[in-house]
Amino acid sequence: MHTSPLDQPGTGDAGGMNVYIVESARRLAQLGVEVEIFTRATARDLPPVAELAPGVLVRHLTAGPYEELDRAELPAQLCAFLSGVLRTEAMYDPGRYDVIHSHYWLSGQVGRLAKERWGVPLVHTMHTMAKVKNLLLARDDKPEPQARVVGEEQVVAVADRLVANTADEARELIDLYGAAEDRVAVVNPGVNLSVFRPGSQLAARRRLGLPRDAHLLLFVGRIQPLKAPDVLLRAAARMLADDPSLRGRLVVACVGGPSGNGLARPSLLTELAAELGISDVFRLVPPAPQEELADWYRAASATVVPSHSESFGLVALESQACGTPVAAAAVGGLRTAVRDGVSGVLVDGHDPAVWARVLRRFVTTPRWREELSRGAREHAAAFGWQATAARLMDVYAGAVANLHKVPVAVNV
């Protein structure tokens, strides 16, 4: 409801969830499943129905003003969005939809009501959870409101299946939300291995206009406190203070746009770079399409993912698929997405001094970095969207079978 799969990841609220929905929908369609994605129309001239891929339709529903709304304003549009979903289904013969798969708690609220009306199972993926985020808040971030916590609890209570990205997330659903273990299924997200693949670092740097001998530290994602790009900038400043000779080659690039609480100060990173005295090595790059993004990964010495909370961390997987190791915070799904010491390094906490020591090793120890690069390619190769879609099919089939099972009479 709050973001369209047609939006460019890295802008507004578009991020890993958008990639997840697009890629899994495409692979489900290749398996013979018809997929229809309902999303809120954010412009008057959007077509009511658009084809994302063969077998995948995106339906734009009018729910509130067309301009982008803050997520805090979206609960007021739940009734309008639900009305659009139910009206669409009513245009067809009964039984058009077999399964509802909702993503994020707002859509889960719509899904739980549509489930009751249509008599079909509800499968839900949280992507992020308020209780988890509130336990791991960034210094400048705001806690998620109680209304979201209650909304998530309601969805967990009625969903026939809950899809967790990792075993850690499954445990959080069970421990923090009281989810029944037999309704939680772990399905790892994937990576598009045909787009994100190894290639020449020098060629990528040439295409991006980067120095061939640069020490490039890369951040990819939405610019907001939760993603902690400031940790990278502070660590880079510490690296230069410790070793001024790095200044001639160090490049710190952040590819993404402001989002969430970051919208309040869209120039925050540029201002922080000036405050830290690293404006000369800092580059802020607009969100890039996948092919260009793959070049950024190939060009990098390391990709840095210092998030305070992360349900999985697709950026880490995309980078590793390109052969670039990752320095990631040891939180959430990043502990699955990155094999510590094999495909990258997991860092405890967000102390810039600690991160500076880790990142300095990436730029000054090329042999070690090459070992991690090989491990990164091997680790990422095990994750593909085809496997994700096949596992989702199993989850859907189990939810349908469980919903329609006939009770067996027992004589006592």
Domains with residue ranges and CATH for the chain: 16-190+386-404 (3.40.50.2000), 201-383 (3.40.50.2000)
The whole-number pLDDT of residue 261 equals 58
Q: What does the CA dihedral 69, 73, 79, 83 come to, rounded to 10 degrees? A: 0
Contact (CB, 8 A) for 168 and 145? no
Q: 10 Å Cβ neighbour count for 150? A: 12
Calpha distance 121→115 (Å, rounded): 6
Read off the pLDDT of residues 216-242 as tens digits, 9 standing for 90 and up: 999 999 898 889 999 999 999 999 999
Binding region: 2, 8-9, 13-18, 71, 104, 128, 148, 222, 227, 297-298, 300, 310, 318, 324
**What's the pLDDT score for residue 406?**
45
User: Nearest Cα to 52, choosing from 71, 61, 63, 39?
Assistant: 39
Q: Which residues are annotated as a binding site for 1D-myo-inositol 3-phosphate?
A: 2, 13-18, 71, 104, 128, 148
Q: pLDDT value at position 408? A: 44
Q: Show the tokens assigned to 236.
A: 């880079």
Residues of the chain under the 50 pLDDT cut: 406, 408-410, 412
Annotated binding residues for UDP-N-acetyl-alpha-D-glucosamine, written as ranges, equal 8-9, 16, 222, 227, 310, 318
Q: State both tokens at 133.
A: 């985020």
Backbone φ and ψ for 217, nearest 5 degrees, come out as -105, 125
CB neighbours of residue 174 within 10 Å: 17
Tens digit of each residue's pLDDT (9 = 90 or more) over 194-224: 999 999 999 999 999 999 999 999 999 989 8
Q: Describe the strand order of the beta sheet including 344-347 as a list of residue ranges.
A: 282-285, 250-255, 215-220, 302-305, 326-329, 344-347
pLDDT of the residue at 8: 64
- 86, two tokens: 């139910």
Q: Which of 151, 174, 136, 64 is nearest to 104 (CA)?
A: 151
